[in-house]
Amino acid sequence: MGLDKDNAIKVDPYSRTTVDNIWSVGDVTNRMPLTPAAIMEGMAFAATCFGNKPTTPIFDKVCFISTHCAAVHGHCMLPSFEYFID
């Protein structure tokens, strides 16, 4: 199976790996390592594979929600995030 430079599983925009009939979603693909992103990738996969509706995840619509106290310095590694801070 193809891997990227960080040894994450290489996928196309529809989460297809380089092996026929094997798909991959979530952190192992290293696209956006957050729970809502993994869920969205899974939903897009299900819509594509089982819903007959080709769907790609839209990462700029993922928001990061956390109950953790956060301190941020400098640039975010994922600049497209929208932050909702209490």
Measured from the CB atom, the residue of 38 and 40 that comes closer to ligand FAD is: 38
CA distance 11 to 3: 9
Stretch that binds ligand FAD, among 4-12, 30-38, 52-60, 73-81 (CB under 6 A): 30-38
Nearest to 33 by CA among 84, 86, 78, 80: 78
Query: Taking CB under 6 A as the rule, does residue 11 contact ligand FAD?
Result: no
Q: At its nearest, how many Å lie between ligand FAD and the CB of residue 81?
A: 10
Nearest to 82 by CA among 50, 56, 60: 60
- Residues within the interface to ligand FAD (CB under 6 A): 26-27, 33-36, 38, 66, 68
